[in-house]
Amino acid sequence: MSSVAQGRVVIVVTICIAMLLTILPMPEWSRAFRPQWVTLVMIYWAIALPHRVGVGSGFIVGVVLDVLTATLLGQHALGLSIVLFIAIQLHQRIRVFPFWQQSLGVMLLLVIDHLLSLWVIGATRETTPGLEYWVVPLIGALLWPWVFVTLRKVRRHFKVI
């Protein structure tokens, strides 16, 4: 298998693992605090390899995520597309930051994704979520160093370029 094809497989497998973590059954009390695994993984790949993971792949992954989570078709696609666009525009700046500053940037991207989802929820007249809805970007920011280091090890091990 060529290195380009192998890299594509590694990226797809990590996204699939993130989707599995997203649909993994959780106790009722903890569902509101589920991290945005797919968004975190897509942000990593957009920052690490902006020439391989872009807005189009964010849209496709978002549509698949919409189907998996039974949300309004296009809700996650819109959020991921915009978040990845911003991440790609700022990828050279984000990469040089220390982890704590990267986490703040990632939290801002996750908040943008949540704001877009909240906009869709409001437009469809669904029940607006409570304050626990805003804890999820903070959880994602706290998980970012672990996600970054893990995916960087995977990228280096499989020589994804």
pLDDT band at 135 (very low <50, low <70, confident <90, very high): very high
The number of C-alpha atoms within 13 Å of 20 and in the hemisphere containing its C-beta is 6
Domain of residue 18, CATH code: 1.10.1760
pLDDT band at 127 (very low <50, low <70, confident <90, very high): confident
Separation of first and last alpha carbons in the chain: 14
Q: Which two tokens stand for residue 2?
A: 């060529």
User: Which pTM does this prediction carry?
Assistant: 0.95
Q: Is the pLDDT of residue 1 over 80?
A: no
Closest CA to 48 of 103, 90, 95: 95
Return the pLDDT at 31.
Answer: 86
* Whether the Cβ atoms of residue 12 and residue 42 lie closer than 8 Å to each other: no
Q: How far is CA 85 from the centre of its chain?
A: 12
Give the domain extent around 121: 3-157
Q: How many domains does the chain have?
A: 1
What average pLDDT does range 49-64 have in this prediction?
A: 97
pLDDT digit string, tens, across residues 75-114: 999 999 999 999 999 999 999 999 999 999 999 999 999 9
- For the chain, the average pLDDT equals 94
pLDDT band at 125 (very low <50, low <70, confident <90, very high): confident
